[in-house]
Amino acid sequence: MKKAFPILGLLTAAFLSYALYQALVVAPQEQTMGDVQRIFYYHVPSAWTAFLLFAINFLASVLYLVRRNPRTDKVASGVVIALALLTCVGAYVFKSYLPKDVYPSSVVTTGIVIAGIYFLIRKYFSEQGTDILALTTAEVGVVFCTVVLVTGPLWARPVWGIWWTWDIRLTSTLVLWLIYVSYLVLRRFSSSGETPVLAAALAVFGALDVPLVYFSIWFFRTQHPQPVIGGGGSIDPRMLRVLLINWMAFLCFAVLVCWSRYRLERMQRDVEETQALEALLEPGGRVR
């Protein structure tokens, strides 16, 4: 694993450089907005990456809460399976209620992927590991969400003529950022033994804002553009290719940072646990 990290780092750096070249040189110029539209290749992938990290934070937080009781853990696993099955069936039964150009197969895939991630976390992470994973994904997710909030106004100013408007998409994204910043402040400055539990509960609450941010432009009249993928939008295939390349590069970078931060947090907790045990013992080895 130690050898894999620098290799992944080099590959990620090369991938990000290639994605940058694709965004600034290869992608065609947008006819209406011109070169300023190229912010799109960083704004959108950052948002998608942040949503994914917050989703993992939500699943890890739920797992941390339910694992405190083996019976609750078992019930939660059954609920996840049931919800995945209901999503598969409901996507086709109620497909007439789905937003335009949102296909039932996409909903089914999303439900299966979410359930799959839940059980992967459950299998490969301990109770403490899920707590560390939740903290790590929240930290990195806030960074990507910050990129979204910075690149959005930079794009809006030359296109809309304003830096910011209290649009439902923009406002809900800001609220999402504030919720997870509050989560990190709680984790950083609270020394209570119940802090992980309180933080997990806050993360579960905060995750409810993610669907609102994502679907706001479908269900509300907003100044924010309609989605270019689904929702009646369209995009040049060459632009879509560059967009996906940049998203894959951002995902690799997110994995690299999360991996590094996870290892650091685990080592820090091991050191703190060792120091606490040593503090309980006298030099002679007897308990005080």
Q: Who has greater pLDDT, 83 or 281?
A: 83
Please give the average per-residue pLDDT across 28-36, as a whole number. 83
* 91-95, 99-103, 228-232: least confident range: 228-232
Question: How far, in Å, CA of 58 to CA of 47, rounded?
Answer: 16
For the chain, how many helices (H) and strands (E)?
9, 0
Question: How far, in Å, CA of 180 to CA of 135, rounded?
Answer: 10
CA distances from 41 to 13, 150, 155, 265 (A): 17, 14, 11, 31
Judge whether residue 214 has pLDDT over 80: no
Q: Who has greater pLDDT, 283 or 153?
A: 153
Does residue 107 contact residue 92 with C-beta atoms inside 8 Å? no
What are the DSSP E strand ranges found in 123-253?
Answer: none
The span from the first CA to the last CA of the chain, in angstroms, equals 40
| 281: β partners | 287
Query: Binning pLDDT at 50, 70 and 90, where does residue 62 land?
Result: very high
Q: For the residues of 206-239, what is the DSSP string, one character each?
A: HHTHHHHHHHHHHHS--SSPPPSSSTT----HHH
Which range is most confident: 34-48, 53-67, 190-204, 208-222?
53-67
Judge whether residue 79 has pLDDT over 70: yes
Letter for the amino acid at 133? L
Please give the average per-residue pLDDT across 125-154, as a whole number. 93
Q: SS3 of 144, please?
A: helix
Query: Binning pLDDT at 50, 70 and 90, where does residue 213 land?
Result: confident
Does residue 148 contact residue 142 with C-beta atoms inside 8 Å? no
Query: Binning pLDDT at 50, 70 and 90, where does residue 259 land?
Result: very high
Q: Which pLDDT score, from 0 to 100, does residue 283 have? A: 62
Does residue 127 contact residue 67 with C-beta atoms inside 8 Å? yes
Judge whether residue 288 has pLDDT over 60: no
CA distances from 249 to 47, 62, 70, 217, 276 (A): 13, 28, 38, 26, 41
pLDDT digits (tens, 9 = 90+) for 107-123: 889 899 999 999 999 99
* 172-181, 231-240, 246-255: least confident range: 231-240
pLDDT digits (tens, 9 = 90+) for 164-196: 878 888 888 999 999 999 999 998 887 777 888
Q: Which pLDDT score, from 0 to 100, does residue 61 have? A: 95
How many CB atoms are located within 10 Å of the residue 240 CB? 14
Does residue 134 contact residue 57 with C-beta atoms inside 8 Å? yes
